[in-house]
Chain A
Amino acid sequence: MVAIAMAALLTSGACVGSARGEGDYQKKAVATTEHVRSSVRTVQLAIQAADEDDAFGPFLSRVISQAEDDAGSAVNGFDTIQPPTDTSDQLRDDVDQIAADSLDLIAAARIAIRRGDLEGLAGLADLLAQAGDNLEQFGQDHHA
């Protein structure tokens, strides 16, 4: 039983790996954008809470930096997958581009909350909403 548990713990950590063909790669691309989108939406909620003075700084700071870590590791995981074909290269660039925009915004939110810059934080809300919508659109466009 211990062995099974260990095996499970190990395999689950490596859920992104190689891609079996273009379709599979596309699925992983969409999954990556969905992960990033989840982080973006989380940060949006955090900003909303800050805006309405509903939460403490340390709490929001932690929520945002965890979202940043999640999104970052999803993108890094995706980037280590070998794109199977030339058309996949294009997809890879698209994902990187759209994810990088979101990551920048999340990082900006993290910096703002740590500085206590609530105005700057509020200014990010619309941009994040837009980024989230873009990620959602990407998912719909590339749904296998």
Chain B
Amino acid sequence: MTANPYRPIPVRIEQVTIENEARDLKSFELSFVNEEHRKGWHFVPGQFAFLSIAGVGEAPFGIASAPSEPLLRFTVKRIGTFTTALHELDRGSIIGLRGPYGNSYPWDLMTGRDVVIVSGGFSFTTLRATLVHILQPENRPGFGDVTVIYGARSPGELLYKEELKELEKRPDLRLVICVDRLNGADWPKTEGLVPNVLRQVAPAATNAVALVCGPPVMIRFTHPVLKELGFSPDRVFLSLENRMKCGIGKCGHCNIGPKFVCKDGPVFSYQELLTLPQEY
């Protein structure tokens, strides 16, 4: 009997962290209830998984933790039926997990190259996983310069604030955190929209790979800037998040032309997206 791809495995919520001032973003750190599930779980930063609450439903989320971290982390915005129910759960609750699904960021291509991470809002999750993975002492030498531009609307809306403050001190990372409006806050230091900040920071495009994840409007204005900076379409990678129901290329919802975001994505090169309808 083949395993049922629709069957979630049980995980326990070990830690819940409120991430923003609006209190609609929470991080859930999960552990596996069964040891064999933990052993069988392998993923690469950039992949996603479905969280599942029996009686409520399922929804896909990017994995925000790196493979080296002991707990699986998902950062979830309260926006629909499922996320509202999830936000009501406390430590100790058992929920379901399906995955990991999708491709990942292009690790082969990134190896030996500079990495530029551009992210806005709460889509920073899989890019956090990517960053943590790159910064692992055993992994860091494999990459060139690492530049991260991460923006949110206001200081209170930035994810993983304490962690970011620590990362800012690292010499082997250029981390620019920006907000649309500082409103008198003393942190972060930069005010401005992500595409504009990217233009000012101007990371070198030669031998670099850019990873972009953010709301549709940020993506639209980031492309031209990357192009200006000299990034060719095959060096720009986007993580997309179309509506999806199954994660395994059957339910149809997440198609962009003949591609499914769940199995052919969620990461697409800009070059590939140019050959697909603009349905993301």
The judgment on whether A and B are partners is: no
Chain A residues engaging chain B, CB cutoff 8 angstroms: none
